[in-house]
Amino acid sequence: LEAIKLHARNVGVRLGAAEKHAQDAEMRAQAAELHAQNADKRLCQDVQAAKMQAAERHAQDAEIRAQDAEKRLLDAEETISRLKTAAEGQMASSRRLQVEIEAIRSFSLESCCDQLIGCLKNRGGRVA
Rounded Cα–Cα distance for residues 89 and 95 (Å): 10
Q: Which of 103, 99, 102, 127 is nearest to 113 (CA)?
A: 127
pTM of the model: 0.48
Rounded Cα–Cα distance for residues 95 and 102 (Å): 10
The whole-number mean pLDDT for each consecutive block of 10 residues of the chain, a chain of 128 residues, reads 86 91 96 96 96 97 97 97 95 91 76 80 66
| pLDDT at 87 (0 to 100) | 95
